[in-house]
Structure formats: structure tokens, C-alpha cells
Amino acid sequence: MRSTTVPPGTPCPAPRSGEPPLHRLEVTGPDAPPFAAGSFDEVGPLSRADHPHRHTFYEIVHVTAGSGTHVVDLARWPVRPPQLAVILPGQIHCWQDQRGLDGTLALFTEDFLIDHPGDHRLLRRLGGTCWFDLDAEDDLRTARLMADLASEHRQRAPGYETVLRALLHVLVIRTTRTAAAASTGGRWVAGVGGPAGVGGPAGAEWITGPGREGVTRVATAAGGTTGPGWGGAGSRWGAGAGGGAAPGRGIGPGRGNSPAGEGGPERAAVLAEAFVRLTVRRETAAWTVRECAERLGVTPGHLTQAVRAATGRSPGRLLIEARVYQAQRLLAHTDLPVRQVAARVGINDPAYFCRFFRRETGTSPGDWRKHHSRHHQSIEAPGTRA
């Protein structure tokens, strides 16, 4: 898709005030596949970027050497190789205090997954956790796959696109197995990736600040996508739940699908996932349950029934949590005044926003930002690259 790729050397558009830069994938020509792979050095300086930024593409990183911290949205992952990271389109991330960082990266857009559409759902699940420790066996298998991907991309022999898609599919499946095996039986819910769910490898620091830790991470990032968890103990998502239903296409009665009560848990999960994907979009920050239901082509009652069946919670509660999460991201990654943060998440009264934020997190926006000021360089700080 043209909106996700650019020719080599195309400068990154200047971001809107208060937002991190959004990088698109560089491809050599209009017929080149939207895929790249190679070492940190081959991919270029942005592969080790220390400023918060986003991508229009997926990024899988096999870290084989180095130290430092990988910041993804509101989580800080210590670099202790061998590890694997899965970064979704729209997620804000950067490397902090990195030394000797090395490994292999694979970059690809959504449409590169055309041969294996089920990988969309698996990648969204992987992105919910993002960071995975690898044992010796998994590290060896991953290293071989990543090396093959980089070699095929570099050599471009006849049929290389087919080989790239096949190798990427194997990588996604094997990483999914690794993630499922590492699940410790935490409370998995739609869009988990934060304090209320399984948080990946031991030692990860979730940026929640003082106060309550009940705010579930519903969305991975503004403009990004997320899906159900891994189906660990206590999960309300079946192993086959999920799907590719896209917001705005209509997946309810009269659109070829049955209500949750008729279609069963799997149908409810499809609608719930489409709803969660809708909540991560910036323009939906102030939407009501009714507006979301209209966008998805269902009634508010049907949406509530489906979301409750799939997640155990109401759409209204998930909308509140998505709004809080967006506010936390803005407070953590920008120097925007609180009143502008409030406006970005659809609340025009700063005083009400402060009461709302304190009610949901147990602390004020100012205190929350102060607590995390040491974690992040502001994306508006002098010298920040675009």
C-alpha cells in the first residue's frame, strides 16, 4: 500500500505537534515486495533509534547481543539476549542506553501477509506481549530463520518473494508456540499486554506509576491493532478466536453474520476483536458505545452482549480503559500540557479530565508524568530526529 511504503531516501513527514514521527517502509520500486530484512547495520540508523517513533509496518527483531532497554508504549524491556521483539504498526518504541546492540530485523507491511491471512491475528497477539526470552533451542531456530530471510531478501533469486512469505509464516507460527509455552497462566483478556495480563518475560517494567494497577492495556497504540491473548488459564478467548473483521465493514445482523447468541463464542470473539481494534484509533477517543456499534453495523445491545461474552467486560469499560491508556501514552511520550492531552482523548474540560484520570489510575496526570519523566525523552525535545 502506498501509504505504508516509500522510495529509498524519502524524508519522514514532520509529525503533528505532540505526536512521534511515523516512519514508512522504504522499498526499491513500485513492484518490490513490502519487505526488508538484515542486520541492525544493514537496516540503518533507525534500527537503533533512541527517540520515540512509530512505523506503518511490522518489525520483528531477533536480539543476539548488547544491553540497554527497549521501550514499547508503556513498557520497558531490559535487553538480555537472546530475545525476540514483535512491534506492531502504530506502536511507539525506542532503544534507551543501548550498547553493542546487534541481531537481525524483518520489516514488512500488512499486505505482505496475503498468502497467510491468519498471521494477522497471530501477530496482534504477539504484539500484545511484544518481548520474548529465548532458550538455546528457540534462539538457534530463530537465528536460522532470520538468516534465511535476510539472505533471500539480499540475493533476490527467482521466486524469492514466495520463499520470504513462507519463511515469515514459519517464524510467526514458531514464535506463537514459544509465546504460548511461556504463558504463566495470567489473566488474558482482549488486548492484554499490560499490568492486568501476562506481561512477557520476567523483569519487564510496566509504566503504570503510583496508584492502582487495574487499568488494562486495551490498545497497543494509536493507529495500531491488537487482539485477544494467548488463551492461558482464565482466558475468555478460545484458541481459534479472533479474525480479520475490520471496523467499518459491518459484521452484525444483516451483514452475513449471526448475533453472538446464535453464532456462539467464536462469532462473539470476532465482533469483540473488531471493537477493540476500533478503540485504538485516535479519532474514536471520544466515541460512545452507540457510535462504535453503528460503525461496526450492529446494535448497542448486540455489541455489549458479544464483548461481554468474549472478554467478560462491557464495551463502556473497555472504552474508558482505552482512553486512559491513550492519555498515559501522551503523558509519557510528550510535553503536551495536560489540557491538550485531555483534548486529544476527547475531554474538553481539563478539570474533569484530571478527576477522571485520578479516578481510573489513583494519581493525577501531573504526578503520573512526573513519576515517569526519567523514562522517556520527549518527542518534542530539541534535536529529536524525524
- How many of the other CB atoms lie within 10 Å of CB of 144? 11
Indicate the pTM of the whole model.
0.60
Lowest mean pLDDT among 31-40, 132-141, 309-318, 335-344: 309-318
pLDDT tens-digit series, residues 141-196: 999 999 999 999 999 999 999 999 999 999 999 999 988 887 644 333 333 333 32
Taking CA atoms, 325 is separated from 85, 187, 340, 344, in Å, by 21, 18, 15, 12
Tens-place pLDDT, residues 330-344:
887 788 899 999 998
Choice between 252 and 142, residue whose per-residue pLDDT is larger? 142
pLDDT digits (tens, 9 = 90+) for 264-295: 556 777 888 888 878 877 677 788 999 999 99
The answer, yes or no, to whether residue 247 has pLDDT greater than 70, is no
- CA dist list (Å): 159 to 107, 155, 167, 352: 19, 11, 13, 58
Among residues 310, 326, 312, the alpha carbon closest in space to that of 361 is found at 326
pLDDT higher than 60, residue 308: yes
Residue 183 and residue 130 in contact, taking contact as beta carbons nearer than 8 Å: no
% of the chain surpassing 70 pLDDT: 72
Q: Let me know the angle formed at the C-alpha of 211 by 374 and 340, rounded to the nearest 5 degrees.
A: 60
Is the pLDDT reported for residue 383 higher than 80?
Answer: no
User: Is pLDDT of 129 > 70?
Assistant: yes
pLDDT beyond 50 at 8:
yes
The predicted structure's pLDDT at residue 204: 52
| pLDDT at residue 344, rounded to an integer | 87
